[in-house]
Amino acid sequence: MRVVLIDDERLARDEMRRLLGRSRIACHIVAEAASVAQGVQAIASHAPDLVLLDIQLPDGSGFDLLAALERVPAVIFTSAYDHYALRAFAVNALDYLLKPIEPERLEQALQKAAPATPAAGITASQDKVFLQDGERCWFVALEQIMLFESEGNYTRVYFDQQRPLMLRSLSQLEARLDPAQFIRTSRSQIVNLRCVAQITAAPSGGLTLVLHNQMRVQMSRRRSSAFKQGHRL
């Protein structure tokens, strides 16, 4: 596995490097970082399979780092404090290791990480985003998201009964999304077609998309025309 270590304490990184070197699971450390900013850059540059992430960093938290990522790899949190554990597991972290880290606990965590790496069959449909709303955090698979809605420089994300904001523009998100599954219905909205229960004609000449939660989304006449041609409606 390609691994990025993120911890502001050099001795902690040295110890983690030593423990990984003794692991039965082959790990290649591709980068190290000591802050949120460095960590974001390291992950973007090296696209690791796994991140070993300290929660308390000098310029923010490990949760802040995850919220800044375009794509979120598998994550194992590390910390000297156990009061972050519930929050870490609430965002589906693979594991939470308390410092000083015991070799056996690290080995158990790495065993969980191995099946989650791309080499073991991660598909595009399992691509996830990290969302943070105050103290609440989520890892959400893109296929679970019904709707993206622009709110200035932010985008509101609709999934389950949740509607948190993320610091991404709609255009940034559109470049990442699969156009066969996500369609731009207007300047301010992108809809997941798998979450559409019904499509009807609108009086304006466009289309009305009714989502599984009964939310109604209007598609402009111009976009509706292109959509009908592409989907033979």
Instruction: Say if residue 17's pLDDT is above 50.
Output: yes
Mean pLDDT for 197-204 is: 91
Predicted confidence (pLDDT) per residue in 179-196, tens digit: 889 999 999 999 999 999
CATH architecture group of domain 2-124: 3-Layer(aba) Sandwich (3.40)
Task: Quote the percentage of the chain above a pLDDT of 90.
Answer: 58
pLDDT band of residue 226 (cuts 50, 70, 90) is confident
Domain 145-231 listed as CATH 2.130.10.10: no
DSSP state letter for 162: B
Asked if 191 and 147 count as a contact pair (C-beta separation under 8 A), the reply is: yes
Q: Give the least confident one: 42-46, 159-163, 166-170.
A: 166-170
pLDDT band of residue 120 (cuts 50, 70, 90) is very low
Tell the burial category of 140 from Cβ atoms under 10 Å away from its Cβ (0-12, 13-18, 19+). buried
3-state secondary structure of 81: coil
Asked if 30 and 3 count as a contact pair (C-beta separation under 8 A), the reply is: yes
Instruction: Say if residue 115's pLDDT is above 70.
Output: no
Mean pLDDT for 146-159 is: 93
Higher pLDDT, 93 or 202: 202
Query: In whole angstroms, what is the distance from residue 57 CA to residue 93 CA?
Result: 18
Predicted confidence (pLDDT) per residue in 124-150, tens digit: 344 778 888 777 788 888 889 999 999
- Could you write out the DSSP letters of every residue in 25-53? S--EEEEEESSHHHHHHHHHHH--SEEEE
Ranges of each domain in the chain: 2-124, 145-231
